[in-house]
């Protein structure tokens, strides 16, 4: 049963990415999956419900990947932090269609819900990394969890879909402000968080 449900999601996600969500019909999903209409409606009541399930699955996959990098002690603290945050980004090949859908004006509430899930769960994954950074002497803060919440909130706002539309000088200013925020919150040496620049520029390109 689960395999059939995943097959529907895989097929629908491929169609959504190729054609766009609005341009894809239930009939096209049925044709591509070659399953009976009743079988599809057993799992999903609408195309919107299929997309909701795709979003939920994509987010779960991102959290799983992020946790794996956070737990990898063969990496440095900074590598674990950057890798874990990069894994939470949906602006990649598999998550691109999801992100485009979330950025549609009519999906503002769903986008807000997705961001809320991220803000609730991501700090729990990243907190042990920050604590290791504090133990190593690279960071210092009495508010590690709250600092992570601030960083994630700023990242979602500053480096969202509108970031690419900014002139290069404004992009650079936001990047420098982000580094300043990191260094200030975690009392780290100047330049310690500079590797984040390439991460943000890659994710936003």
pTM (predicted TM-score): 0.80
Q: How far apart are CA 85 and CA 82, in angstroms?
A: 5
- Which residues belong to CATH 1.10.357.10 in the chain? 47-204
Tens digit of each residue's pLDDT (9 = 90 or more) over 171-199: 889 889 989 999 999 999 999 999 888 76
Q: Hey, what CATH topology would domain 1-45 get?
A: Arc Repressor Mutant, subunit A (1.10.10)
Q: 47-204 architecture in CATH?
A: Orthogonal Bundle (1.10)
Using the predicted structure, report yes or no on whether residue 77 has a pLDDT greater than 70.
Answer: yes
For the ranges 97-106, 135-144, 164-173, 189-198, the maximum mean pLDDT occurs at 135-144
Q: How far apart are CA 69 and CA 64, in angstroms?
A: 9
* b/e sequence 40-58, b meaning 16+ C-beta within 10 Å: beebbeebeebbebbbebb
Per-residue model confidence (pLDDT) at position 151: 92
- Which residues belong to CATH 1.10.10.60 in the chain? 1-45
Tens digit of each residue's pLDDT (9 = 90 or more) over 10-36: 999 889 888 888 889 999 999 999 999
Tens digit of each residue's pLDDT (9 = 90 or more) over 52-67: 898 888 889 999 999 9
Query: Would you state the structure tokens that stand for residue 59, as one six-digit string?
Result: 């987010």
> What is the 8-class DSSP label of residue 107?
G
Radius of gyration of the chain (CA): 19
């Amino acid at each position: 049963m689960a395999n059939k449900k995943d097959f529907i999601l895989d097929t629908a996600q491929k169609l959504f990415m190729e054609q766009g969500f609005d341009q894809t019909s239930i009939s096209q999903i049925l044709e591509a999956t070659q399953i009976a209409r009743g079988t599809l409606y057993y799992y999903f009541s609408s195309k919107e419900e299929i997309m909701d399930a795709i979003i939920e699955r994509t987010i779960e996959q991102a959290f799983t990947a992020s946790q794996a990098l956070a737990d990898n002690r063969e990496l440095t603290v900074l590598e674990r932090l950057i890798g874990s945050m990069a894994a939470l980004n949906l602006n990649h090949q598999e998550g691109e269609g999801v992100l485009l859908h979330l950025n549609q004006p009519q999906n503002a509430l769903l986008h807000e819900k997705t961001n809320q899930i991220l803000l609730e769960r991501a700090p729990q994954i990243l907190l042990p990394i920050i604590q290791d950074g504090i133990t190593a002497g690279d960071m210092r803060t009495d508010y590690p969890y709250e600092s992570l919440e601030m960083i994630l909130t700023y990242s979602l706002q500053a480096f969202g879909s509108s970031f690419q539309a900014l002139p290069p000088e404004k992009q650079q200013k936001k990047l420098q402000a982000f580094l300043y925020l990191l260094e200030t919150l975690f009392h780290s040496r100047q330049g310690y968080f500079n590797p984040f620049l390439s991460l943000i520029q890659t994710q936003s390109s």
